[in-house]
């Protein structure tokens, strides 16, 4: 009886120590293959996590795991995956009006709309993406307006916007192309849309100049639209420009050259037709979902575009985009897998989901690779991440295990 009680006591102590290690964020992740995205993959590697940050990364032969660390073992370990453009959190899981805040249709130019005023961290789509290894999400106002509003970057955890927040303003979302006139009475043509944008940019330049006046009486009243556009023109906030057709992509490049703003091209279904121009402009691309339905402006989308961008030396990332069917999001992991099956290498596909996406979004100092001091965001797989039969088994965000089952 005494021995049995002793064994129970020891077992209880082990469980308690493991629980304490988890609460302190002391975790050792062992991987048969670790893709740190900082060099060659590490066979039989270890990632030590402490206090929400990555402590050490290396070979199991070089790293001793402290006895009080919880140990997680996996076939494949990667950095947390990044969905480079989504509307999740503004768009809800169902087609209900009350949870569809991704596109305001009262005005075609609304840069003042802030994503974090509409983001719902408890939306089920956030957890849905997290279970597929998405730990960082670039989300916000959707394409479909000349200027639809601001985007933000969050982690896929937290019960409040503040607890999830990585970057409150990541970009301002613009759209060029026929989809704009489907949502608004004005503009009715592409030329009118571009003219409206140029007019607003010129107004914003004038507004910014007047706001710098040393005489307060000569400064105009605050204008939220012009204030945000002035920050775009001053390169404080990137312009995320959705354009699918080759002529619209080239128009976006002309606008960028004329006004000098920092630009990220979004969508880009016909990017493979203008590779030289994109390369010359040094503009990164957040590629449309690889499996996007090919009609309208995306009629000429291709499974091979990612591989062609890579061969051309153009940095790109994958996105879930906006899905009109339930559940109202795609999964960037699967979109990348299709690109890998169509000419993109395994490691280039993984880079576009991790470090390349982080660099495009300006958050590579925190996420995108497994390096000492970075946020402890990791995904553990039971097989090849791009194989449909593989599973995401554990997800760790900010040093906390937020998913522990292989499904």
pLDDT digits (tens, 9 = 90+) for 229-284: 999 999 999 999 999 999 999 999 999 999 999 999 999 999 999 999 999 999 99
Map out the domains of the chain as residue ranges.
2-79+391-403, 81-367
Q: How far apart are CA 292 and CA 323, in angstroms?
A: 9
301 sits in the region (left: phi over 0; alpha: psi -120 to 50; else beta) called: beta
* Range 81-367: architecture per CATH: Alpha-Beta Barrel (3.20)
Does domain 2-79+391-403 fall under CATH 1.10.10.10? My reply is no
β-pair partners for 56: 48
pLDDT of residue 21: 47
Q: Are 129 and 88 in contact (CB under 8 A)?
A: yes
Q: How many CA atoms lie within 13 A of 254 on its CB side?
A: 11
> Does 95 have pLDDT greater than 90?
no
52 sits in the region (left: phi over 0; alpha: psi -120 to 50; else beta) called: left
Task: Please report, rounded to a whole number, the percentage of residues in the chain having pLDDT higher than 70.
Answer: 94
Task: Assign 402 a pLDDT band (cuts: 50, 70, 90).
Answer: very high
pLDDT digits (tens, 9 = 90+) for 317-368: 999 999 888 899 999 999 999 999 999 999 999 999 999 999 999 999 999 9
Q: Are 297 and 245 in contact (CB under 8 A)?
A: yes
pLDDT of residue 24: 56
Tokens 């050792």 belong to 28
Task: Assign 13 a pLDDT band (cuts: 50, 70, 90).
Answer: very low
> Does 60 have pLDDT greater than 90?
yes
């Amino acid at each position: 009886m005494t021995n049995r009680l002793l064994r129970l006591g020891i077992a209880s102590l082990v469980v308690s120590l493991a629980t304490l290690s988890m609460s302190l964020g002391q975790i050792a992740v062992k991987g048969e293959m670790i893709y740190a995205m900082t060099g060659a993959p590490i066979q039989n590697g270890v990632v030590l996590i402490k206090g929400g940050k990555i402590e050490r990364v290396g070979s199991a032969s070089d790293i001793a795991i402290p006895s009080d660390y919880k140990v997680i073992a996996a076939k494949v370990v990667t950095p947390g995956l990044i969905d480079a453009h989504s509307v999740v959190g503004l768009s809800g899981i169902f087609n209900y009006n009350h949870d569809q805040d991704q596109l305001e249709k009262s005005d075609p130019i609304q840069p003042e709309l802030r994503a974090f005023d509409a983001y719902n961290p408890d939306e089920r789509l956030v957890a849905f993406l997290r279970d597929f290894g998405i730990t960082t999400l670039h989300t916000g106002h959707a394409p479909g307006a000349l200027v639809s509003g601001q985007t933000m970057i969050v982690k896929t955890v937290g019960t409040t916007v503040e607890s999830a927040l990585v970057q409150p303003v990541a970009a301002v979302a613009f759209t060029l192309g026929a989809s704009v006139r489907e949502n608004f009475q004005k503009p009715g043509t592409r030329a009118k849309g571009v003219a409206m944008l140029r007019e607003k940019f010129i107004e914003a330049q004038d507004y910014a100049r007047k706001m710098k006046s040393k005489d307060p009486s000569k400064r105009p009243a605050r204008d939220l639209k012009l204030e945000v556009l002035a920050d775009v023109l001053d390169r404080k906030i990137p312009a995320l420009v959705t354009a699918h057709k080759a002529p619209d992509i080239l128009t976006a490049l002309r606008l960028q050259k004329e006004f000098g703003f920092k630009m990220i091209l979004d969508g880009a279904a016909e990017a493979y037709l203008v590779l030289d121009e994109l390369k010359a402009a040094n503009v990164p691309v957040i590629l449309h979902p690889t499996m996007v339905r090919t009609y309208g402006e995306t009629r000429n989308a291709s499974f091979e575009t990612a591989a062609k961008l890579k061969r051309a030396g153009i940095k790109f990332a994958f996105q879930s985009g906006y899905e009109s069917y339930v559940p109202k999001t795609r999964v960037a992991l699967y979109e990348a897998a299709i690109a890998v099956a169509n000419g993109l290498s395994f490691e280039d596909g993984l880079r576009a989901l991790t470090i390349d996406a982080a660099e495009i979004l300006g958050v590579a100092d925190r996420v995108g690779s497994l390096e000492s001091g970075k946020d402890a965001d990791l995904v553990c797989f039971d097989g090849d991440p791009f194989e449909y039969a593989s599973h995401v088994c554990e997800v760790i965000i900010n040093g906390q295990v937020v998913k522990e089952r292989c499904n």
